[in-house]
Amino acid sequence: MIDAILNSYYIQCLPFLFQGLVWTLIITIGGLILGFILGALVGMGRLSKNRIIRAICMVYVEIVRGTPILAQVLFIYFGLTEEVIGINIDKIIASIIAISFNAGAYIAEIVRGAIKSIEKGQHEAGRSIGLSQRQTMRYIIWPQAFKRMIPPLGNQFIISLKDTSLFSVIAVGELLYMGQQYYNLNFATFQTLIMVCVLYLCITIPTSLYLRRLERRLDV
């Protein structure tokens, strides 16, 4: 019985799939780190009093949110050729850039919404004790806003993780692509795709449970 399980395609495909899972996590985490930095800057820019900065940030958000990430990664990888920008973009780098730019637009709205949700009295309280606008944002507004960002940021992590499956179109060796390569060789389509889904769930379900626990702890 045990030998039959160990020799089944469900188990035999795992070493192959784990290679893809590593790249899936690298692309997701790397892209979201850059995406958060970009999103925080754009989100703050959308609250700027400068109309030009607000307009630029709004155009970026609307363009990215209005186009599919598949089109974005194809544009980055195939559109930004060496003739256009002077260098060839590696497919992994293209994937990280696509995740960061795509997630950055959504994170910008998360940041903007969280900051706007803080009562105006908090801003006034900071100014009343002698803090500058920047110090008020750093020490009073941002810590409170960040707590409110946690649930949607967690959702964005899960969305971006699943979005990496689209990068198989440029032959990135992420989880789904490695699964496709395995069942093309062994014709074990059903078993392989079951295990691909299981591995995705092994990441997304614990992440969701942890975020719920964190929300309760922080009283978000």
Report which residue type is found at 146.
F
* End-to-end CA separation in angstroms for the chain: 48
> Residue 139 is part of a domain; what is its CATH number?
1.10.3720.10
Quote the pLDDT of residue 175. 95
3-state secondary structure of 162: helix
For 195, residues 6+ apart whose C-beta sits below 8 A from its C-beta are 10, 13, 14, 17, 179
| Residue 85 domain boundaries | 2-218
pLDDT at 6: 56
Spans of the chain below 50 pLDDT: none
Distance, in Å, from the CA atom of 218 to the CA atom of 166, rounded to the nearest integer, reads: 34
In the three-class reduction of DSSP (H, G, I as helix; E, B as strand; rest coil), residue 103 is classed as helix
Q: How many domains does the chain have?
A: 1
pLDDT tens-digit map of 55-81: 999 999 999 999 999 999 999 999 887
Q: Indicate the residue type of 54.
A: R
pTM above 0.85, yes or no: yes
The answer to whether 110 touches 152, Cβ cutoff 8 Å, is yes
